[in-house]
Every structure is written in structure tokens, then in C-alpha cells.
Amino acid sequence: MNLVIDAGNTLTKVAFFENNIIRHLHSAAQITHDELEQMMLKYQPSRAIVSDVSEKTKAVAPWLGKRIPVLHMNSETPSPLQLKYQSPGTLGSDRLAAAVYGSSLFPSQNTLTIQAGTCLTYEFVNQSGEYLGGSISPGLDMRFHAMHTFTAKLPLVKKEKISFLIGTTTQESVLSGVINGCIAEIDGIIDQYKEIFPDLMVVLGGGDTFFFDKTLKNRIFAVQNLVLRGLNIILEHNYKC
């Protein structure tokens, strides 16, 4: 049994994998020592991997390391991909994990893996298994908050799925601008990649996948728990090395 912890900008996710299948998943703003201990007693993991982009696991990491071997994910952690990124020290472990899982679904193919979360991230892996990089832009919540924060009168609008283009109120106009704007961005980025790589496979994951998986004009493969699954592959890869 593998323990996989992904401490992101918004949520901390804890998953227990057995034979590459998630047997238990727990999500919270921050994981407590007692919660982790109870889950470990129940599922008895033999090893763990931790990806922490926000230092949320500082309190539990020393305790965990005394009980089972722990792989702390960073840019130098071996993975199935060849890293061609020019600034690997600044590469988020969540981005690399997403790329690992996305490319694992389509080995030896050009793959674009998109994460719709705090940010929209695009990770490209070529058919030779080389991670080249991608792009990062603001996610839905960040766009809503930015429009409210940096203007005098625009309200803070709560995200929701919409089917309209023309907003007939200020709230609807903000919703249309953010939601439809992100849809147009994602489709536009995919189209640009396809001009260079016509055989491109596209994988979409992240907490806001719901807003895009059925509205994009491009064909995509929606995946839940993309980063967790990628981290589990990286953990397995390191124990096979």
C-alpha cells in the first residue's frame, strides 16, 4: 500500500493506493496529525510520497518519516520522464506529476496535460517521453477574485456552470467573461499545439474540470485525481530504480 500526499495551494489530498487503485481518498484544507495517524493505522502503507507546494505538511512530515520511508517530491526526484525544462529548480512538483500521469495514458505519443485548479497549467510531453514545459495562467477563482480586488465596483462572483454567452446583468457578465474566457483560452492553446503536433492527445484534470470537460470543442480525456495518480507512478518508479 502506498501513501500519497499532495498539498496544493487550496487543498491537501491524502490517498492510499493499492495496485495503482485508490482505496481511500481524503481531502481537507490541511491534514492534521491525528487524521493521518488514524488513516495509517487502518490502511498500513509501507511507503509514502509527499508533494507540498505550500509547506502545509511541515507539522506531520517528521512524524511520518519516523514510521515509513518517505519520498519528498522535488525537481530532482527521478521520474519516468526526461526533464528538458530550462529551470527545473522552479518547476512545481504538482506540474511534473500531472505530466507524468497524462503521458502514461498515451505512451510514445505527444501529450498535453491540463490542470484546471488554482491556476490553469499546461504540460507538454513529446512522443520521446521528454517533458518540455508548457504554460501557466490564472484559474477560475483567481480571475474572479482579481476582477473584484482590482476594480472599484465589480462584485465577487461565485463560480457556477453557465450555458449563456451574453450576460444580461453585471454578475452574468463577469461569469460569462471568466468561464467562457477560460474555455476559449483552453481551446485556443490546444489548437496551437495541434498545429505543431497534429496527433496530440489532451488530458484534463483538476478541481475545476467540471466546468470544461463537456464544453470544450476539442476532444479531451478527463481524469480525476491527476496529480495523485502521477505521484503514485513516481513513487513506484523510484522503488523500481
Residue-wise pLDDT tens digits, 113-164 = 999 999 999 999 999 999 999 999 999 999 999 999 999 999 999 999 999 9
Q: Which residues pair with 83 in a beta bridge?
A: 131
Domain ends where: 39, 72, 105? 72
Domain ends where: 45, 72, 99? 72
Task: Please check the confidence at residue 55 and state whether its pLDDT lies above 90.
Answer: no
In a domain, 77, yes or no: no
Task: Please check the confidence at residue 57 and state whether its pLDDT lies above 90.
Answer: no
Quick one: cell of 2? 502506498
Same domain as 62, residue 108 = no
Active site residues: 94
Q: Quote the percentage of the chain above a pLDDT of 90.
A: 84
DSSP class of residue 56 equals T
CA distances 7 to 3, 26, 147, 156, 233, Å, are 13, 12, 27, 26, 17
Q: What is the CATH number of the domain that holds 129?
A: 3.30.420.40
Same domain as 178, residue 62 = no
Domain ends where: 10, 41, 72? 72
pTM value > 0.75 = yes
- Residues 204-232 have pLDDT tens digits of 999 999 999 999 999 999 999 999 999 99
In a domain, 56, yes or no: yes
In a domain, 235, yes or no: no
